[in-house]
């Protein structure tokens, strides 16, 4: 799979409830907004890139890539961002990343794409070791076929909001990022100011 077949989206449409209502993507991380750091990490891995945001649109537009708002109302969660991105995706594949996990692997997309093709799957989802040593799915880091948009429209219009409930309806392969040399903190996300400071100080 050529990277030009893949559009990347940065999901920055949440309320930031656990960060006191702050827009997480615009919080400073190593000298720049966290979403910009994420964009610079994702851009070399994909052919096209966009941002899903629901507020501070001018700030996100200043990053120089398309910015799209949820079509579903009331901050409906990551699935709403995925749906928004699929609606605007012009390539065969879409890869999703959140704005609050800026140290994700630089080979994320390549490994998801390899697994998707190898397993003839519709969705490839990252899985990573967490602090308790368990390997768990990271559903906001997924590569999916654009043709799944109709399925996601139906699911969300019926009130579905949980990513894993939707992906369970499709051929999904989990891709563990637990090889020797993989950063165990790569999928650590910053939900609070304290977690953001901890992440910023990590290697």
Is pLDDT of 203 > 60?
no
* pLDDT band per the 50, 70, 90 thresholds, residue 75: low
Domain residue limits, the chain: 3-200
Q: Is the pLDDT of residue 165 over 90?
A: yes
pLDDT at site 20: 60
The arrangement of secondary structure in 3-200, i.e. its CATH architecture, is Alpha-Beta Complex (3.90)
Mean pLDDT estimate for the chain: 90
pLDDT band, residue 73 (cuts 50/70/90):
low
CA distances from 185 to 87, 114, 177, 196 (A): 32, 22, 11, 13
Alpha carbon dihedral 192, 196, 198, 201, in 10-degree steps, equals -170
Q: pTM value?
A: 0.92
Q: How far apart are CA 21 and CA 70, in angstroms?
A: 18
Surface-to-core class of residue 20, CB atoms within 10 Å of its CB (0-12 exposed, 13-18 middle, 19+ buried): exposed
Judged against a pLDDT cut of 60, whether residue 18 lies above it is answered with no
């Amino acid at each position: 799979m050529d990277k030009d077949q893949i559009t990347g989206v940065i999901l920055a449409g949440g309320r930031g409830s656990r960060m006191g209502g702050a827009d997480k993507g615009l919080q400073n991380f190593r000298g720049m907004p966290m979403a910009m750091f994420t964009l610079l990490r994702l851009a070399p891995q994909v052919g096209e890139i966009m941002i899903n945001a629901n507020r501070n649109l001018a700030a996100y537009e200043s990053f120089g890539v398309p910015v799209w708002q949820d079509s579903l109302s009331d901050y409906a969660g990551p699935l709403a961002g995925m749906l928004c991105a699929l609606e605007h995706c012009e390539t065969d594949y879409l890869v999703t990343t959140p704005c609050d996990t800026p140290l994700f692997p630089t080979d994320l997309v390549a490994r998801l794409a390899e697994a998707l093709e190898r397993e003839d799957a519709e969705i490839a989802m990252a899985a990573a070791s967490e602090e308790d040593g368990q390997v768990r799915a990271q559903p906001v880091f997924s590569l999916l076929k654009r043709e799944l948009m109709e399925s996601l429209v139906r699911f969300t219009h019926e009130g579905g909001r949980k990513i894993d409930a939707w992906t369970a309806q499709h051929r999904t392969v989990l891709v563990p990022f637990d090889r020797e040399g993989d950063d165990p903190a790569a999928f650590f996300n910053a939900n609070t100011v304290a977690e953001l400071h901890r992440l910023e100080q990590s290697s």
